[in-house]
Amino acid sequence: MTGKMALQTSDLRLLAGNKLLCQQLDWQVHAGEYWAILGLNGTGKTTLLHTLAGLRQPDQGTVYLQQTNLAQYARREVARTIGLLLQENHEPFPGTVLEHVLIGRHPHLHNWQWETPGDIQLARHAMDIMDLAGYETRNITSLSGGERQRMAIATVLAQQPNIFLLDEPVNHLDWHHQHQLLQYFSDVVKQQNKTVVMAVHDVNLAARYCDHVLMMFVDGQTLAGPVDELLTTDNLNRLYGHDVSCINTGQHNLFIPL
């Protein structure tokens, strides 16, 4: 069940150099919705997420956070509401896994304030969710790619935002952790009425876990709406420039490139 407006774009236009990524995007995302952003490489999925998080300015149009212009918010206030998972995470300094996950608590701390026992408990809980219990003292340089990704996700979970913007969250994850992660976010959306918007390449993961989809086409056009309406072979053929077949498994549709 969806709720109040979480994010909204009005007449949004995004460019990468001279390349048009999207134009006249009027898009509404409500609390309690789980969105997938689909499109070929270079169509602007990451740029859109960064714009929604306030990391870059729109080339035209406006982004609204909870019906207020995003530009009017202080950065700390945005960070308390929106959690952004970057596609690539490069840790500039060595440290332990727990120290890194605690970074997610920084928007909730005052200047020069140390983390409280409650903050540490929240960070440990986020690590537990991502199967990182017992990793607290591990140096981050010793982690595999999948373990680093789970640590990055745990950091966003520790932030406790109401809106999750996830850029390729299943990168480097094995099948078990992919489905565990996406099911977790599905539960969060349904049980806590939070919002998830994720860029993802696997159409079948979008079909299985998400209830809405935004398609970004190479010509800057977009389609947004319920998964059941938009995830069709015709739309996917157009989106990816490749023929796609659909098999109904009885639980959800399975899309196969031909």
pLDDT of 99: 95
Question: Do strands 212-216 and 222-226 pair parallel, antiparallel, or not at all (unpaired)?
Answer: antiparallel
> What is the mean pLDDT for each group of 10 consecutive residues in the chain (258 residues)?
86 96 97 98 97 97 97 95 90 86 92 86 98 96 94 97 97 96 97 97 96 97 97 96 92 89
Taking the model in full, what pTM does it have? 0.95
Q: What angle do CA 47, 228, 230 make, to 5 degrees?
A: 45
Strand partners, 248: 253
Counts for the chain of helices (H) and strands (E), in that order: 9, 12
Query: Contact, 137 vs 115, CB < 8 A?
Result: no
Query: Contact, 170 vs 152, CB < 8 A?
Result: no
Query: Contact, 56 vs 50, CB < 8 A?
Result: yes
Question: Do strands 212-216 and 34-38 pair parallel, antiparallel, or not at all (unpaired)?
Answer: parallel
DSSP-based three-state secondary structure for 172: coil
Query: Contact, 201 vs 215, CB < 8 A?
Result: no
What is the C-alpha separation between 38 and 100, in angstroms, rounded?
A: 30
Domains (ranges, CATH) in the chain? 5-90+161-257 (3.40.50.300)
